[in-house]
A and B are shown apart, each in its own frame.
Chain A
Amino acid sequence: MSVSRRNFLKRAVKGGAAAAAAACTTVAGAPEPANALQREPKPLAPEAVGLLYDSTLCIGCKACMSACKESNHMPQEVGPDQPWNDTRQWDTPVELSAKTLNVIKVYTDGNATQKDHEKDGFAFLKRQCLHCTDPSCVSVCPVSAMTKDKTSGIVSHNPDACIGCRYCVLSCPFGVPKYDYNDAFGQIHKCQLCKHKLAENQLPGCADVCPTGATLFGKTPDLLAEAKRRTALKPGEYAHYPRGDINGHVGGARDGHEKRVEVAYQSHIYGERELGGTQCLSVSAVPFDKLNLPTNVPEYGYPTLSEGIQHTLYAGMVGPAAVLGGLVYFAHRNTKDQHDPD
């Protein structure tokens, strides 16, 4: 499994890094008038909630993966590594898909013996929707099937509104929304932060079962403060790590645990700034480009560019109306001249 994953990660990392580097230069090289077309970035939702994933705490037990399936009634998925004639088939997804809203990926290098080491080591990454502050998927959806809650900032999907155009799939910078291509009535699936459980004051499935607090639920500003505390820790120090809800409100108070910091954290908090920020954050001891997340991306969401162009051209439809007026004038005059418009 690790072999195919390593190749996979290597290839994807190469592609991702090239793409990200290209994006960075694109943005850096953008001329001033281009930036004048940009709209204001969106602010963080007032009660924004999310997850903090700490790669150094993750033990790869994948309890969050089965809890996610259970919480959202998602079907099991047989991964490509399982032999077709294996009758004891179990749930082994290797990526997000229309059947899998949450997946633990592994980075490996060399002999892959040391946890959280870039060289000859391995590290985990949890993938699920990051609940962007300025989400592309919401910006592109023509029929308001992808929406961002005004208060909690949770990005959710309504299949009854969706027309299945898959523009959200195409536009998400993190490759999160997935469509079911093998179903005549396929639909889009993605993590909705277990909003149905939050509504009952229960924790999202993944944060609920995580034994080490590697997946921690909380308000985004609190999670960011916690992430900053952790990234400032030195190897050898002991630190307290909470579990469940960082404030102990949702799902009841839980005991945390003390743990020695083995490897230095990267100072980079993924999601603090990327593409206008995300409500779900990650910290890690291994650089994030190794974990297959796009780095070197701008600090504003791409909707600021596309909506900027669109709003400039179509503000109040004044521009098109004026142009239409001119066109009508000429068309009227010229069809009269030419006697026969057709």
Chain B
Amino acid sequence: MTSLASHDTAPSAHHDHAPVGGRLITVPFLIALAFVAIAGFILVQRFAHGIGAVSNLSDGYPWGIWVAIDVVIGSAFGCAGYVMALLVYILNRGEYHAMVRPAVMASLFGYGLAGAAVLVDLGRYWNFYHMMMPSYAQPNSVMLEVGLCVATYTIVLILEFAPAFLERFGMHDARRKLSKILFFFIALGVLLPTMHQSSLGTMMVILGHKLSPLWQTQMLPVFFLTTAVLMGFAIVVWESVLSALGFRRPMETAELARLSGLMVYAGLAFVVLRFVDLAVRGQLGAMFGAHGTVMFWVETLLMIGGIAAILPVASRRRGKALFVSSSLFLAGGIVYRLNVYIVGLIPAVGPWTYFPSLSEILITVGIFSLEVVLYLVFVKKLPVMHAVSTKHG
């Protein structure tokens, strides 16, 4: 097992990345493909008979898991590229360089598929392009800002990931040219998620009393940005540990240890800020009885668990501890965002209830399966992962 920390001083990284190789058609691949097909079948119904034909969405809960999970949580999963670009290119922590490309790829999937989910969810999808047209723009809308920002970011991610394609197809000239201007897109790639991830929180401020006091605060943008960073770190750590096991690759131990240190800080900041915010708003009592109390504790305990698992510095070098911690943080972030978008919601004139229908869930599963399928294709066929030895190249 070799540490790859020395690579940050390597003059050229052209041969740093290599396809993992191996057979593409495997059992997990086929299972994922089957789920994609099922989702496709349900989508036909959705577009033929309307959203109500396949989902449990209602005027009390106009946004369900397609928004909360596919978009709000999915895009947080897509924050891996954001935090890694921030670390490597803005804070000049070159030692994480090897982790950038897989992270950017994960982001590309996260955001691309969030976009696909939006088209499923939009009731009048054929008017979708109005979002991009200045004549329709309504600048006070937080959603407009999120939409435009996410669309631009997806393009930036494609450009950030383009070197992998260009290398694969031997277009070295184009790759060199892109390298010269890439710094600008890298900068944009850090600015844009900062903007729209915080705005995802601002989106719910306007709900006022319709969101439980456990979550309703003007700090929502801060919490969403914090969970974006936290989940970004967590997904990088999680994915590194898992792919080290799955593809039998050496674990990037030194980087992971340092990275998980940052992850713990983000988790601590979140938990502490949450309690301070509740105290400042005079809502500490809400922890024991307001709408959604149980899920508040689930969210908080998951976060605390994530912190506890790798609080001792020595544990940050152990794959198992890292896996547990990053899983808990991811779960905590998921539950927090689910709480703000669904659990904490108090619809205006009831009685309303919401639990996703099977079809609704299968569409979400299908979208994530598509992500898995594409991940496997990309990793096996494109130079995404850090090369282990030249033999692979």
Listed in ascending order, the chain A residues whose CB lies under 8 Å from chain B are: 8, 11-12, 15-16, 18-20, 22-26, 28-31, 34, 37, 95-98, 127, 136, 138-145, 159-167, 169-175, 177-188, 275, 292, 294, 297-298, 302-303, 305-307, 309-310, 313-314, 320, 323-324, 327-328, 330-342
Contacts and interface: CB of A to CB of B under 8 A. Distances in A.
B31 interface: no
B210 A181 contact: no
Contacts of B48: 184
Q: B interface, by DSSP: helix, strand, loop or mixed?
A: helix
Interface string B31-55: 0000000000000000111111101
Contacts of A30: 218, 281
B184 A334 contact: no
Nearest to B286: A22
B245 to A, nearest CB: 26
Given A165-B122, A179-B62, A170 B207 contact: yes
Contacts of A175: 59-60, 347-349
Contacts of B348: 172-175, 294
A22 B286 CA distance: 9
Contacts of B199: 310
A9 to B, nearest CB: 10
B191 A306 contact: no
A136 B281 contact: no
Contacts of B12: 339-340
B218 A302 contact: no
Interface in B173-198: 179, 182-184, 186-188, 190-191, 194-195, 198
A162 B124 CA distance: 7
Contacts of A305: 205-206, 208, 218
Contacts of A341: 89, 179, 182-183, 186
B107 to A, nearest CB: 14
B186 A143 contact: no
A160 to B, nearest CB: 8
A142 B50 contact: no
A80 to B, nearest CB: 12
B163 interface: yes
Nearest to B212: A22
A142 B144 contact: yes
B285 to A, nearest CB: 9
Given A186-B123, A302-B207, A161 B59 contact: no
A170 B348 CA distance: 9
Nearest to B11: A339
A313 B130 CA distance: 24
Contact of A331 (B89, B145, B217, B346): B89
B140 interface: yes
Nearest to B149: A320
B209 interface: yes
Contact of A142 (B47, B138, B184, B351): B138
Interface of B: 8, 11-14, 16, 47-53, 55, 57-60, 62-63, 88-92, 94, 97, 100-101, 121-125, 127-128, 130-131, 136-138, 140-145, 147, 160, 163-164, 179, 182-184, 186-188, 190-191, 194-195, 198-199, 202-203, 205-210, 212-213, 216-218, 221, 280-283, 286, 290-291, 346-351
B298 to A, nearest CB: 20
Given A142-B138, A175-B59, A337-B92, A328 B208 contact: no
B290 A22 contact: yes
Query: Chain A CB within 10 Å — which of B13, B97, B191 has the most?
Result: B191
Contacts of A139: 140-141, 206
B50 A306 contact: no
Contacts of A12: 349-351
A164 B124 contact: yes
Contacts of A183: 50
B127 A164 contact: yes
A298 to B, nearest CB: 7
B90 A334 contact: yes
Given A175-B60, A181-B57, 11 more contacts: A12-B349, A23-B209, A160-B127, A294-B209, A306-B202, A314-B145, A331-B183, A331-B190, A334-B94, A342-B100, A342-B179
17 contacts: A15-B350, A19-B210, A23-B209, A24-B209, A142-B144, A142-B147, A164-B125, A169-B59, A173-B209, A186-B50, A309-B205, A310-B199, A310-B202, A320-B195, A330-B92, A340-B16, A341-B186
Given A184-B50, A339-B12, A29 B208 contact: no
Contacts of B122: 163-165
Contacts of B62: 166-167, 169-170, 179
Contacts of A26: 209, 213, 216-217, 281, 283
Nearest to B101: A342
A338 B8 CA distance: 7
Contacts of A294: 209, 348
A243 B231 CA distance: 60
A292 B179 CA distance: 61
Contacts of A31: 280-281
Contact of A339 (B13, B92, B221): B13
Nearest to A35: B218
B123 A164 contact: yes
A50 B139 CA distance: 27
Contacts of A324: 187-188, 191
